[in-house]
Amino acid sequence: MPSYQFDCHTCGSFDRTFSMAEVPAATACPVCASACRRRFGGAPLIHPGSAAARLIDATQRTASEPGVVDAPAGRSPGRITRNPLHHKLPRP
């Protein structure tokens, strides 16, 4: 069954589950029991669990949990060149 979102003027929004044939235009708030109108919104355009949704979640997660790296991407530390003459050069 789908869940629908309702707005209470004092408590905020909450979700209730109804069958599509029985969804009311207003319902009682579970906290203060006042009449709350249904909120109409757009349907989500990205399917949960899809590759696009995982990418968006990972991108949003890096804002609060940045990944820790110990080397630049694409290079292995200590083996920058394959020229054998470069192995004789002094190392920092």
- 6 near Zn ion, judged by CB under 5 A: no
Amino acid at 71: A
Site for Zn ion in 32-71 (CB under 5 A): 32
Alpha-carbon gap, residue 12 to 32, rounded angstroms = 11
Tokens of 39: 């909120």
Distance between CA atoms of residues 62 and 68, nearest Å: 10
Binding test (CB under 5 A) with Zn ion, winner from 26, 31, 55, 58: 31
Instruction: Report the residue from 3, 5, 7, 11 that binds Zn ion according to the rule CB under 5 A.
Output: 11
Where do contacts with Zn ion occur on this chain (CB under 5 A)?
Answer: 8, 10-11, 29, 31-32
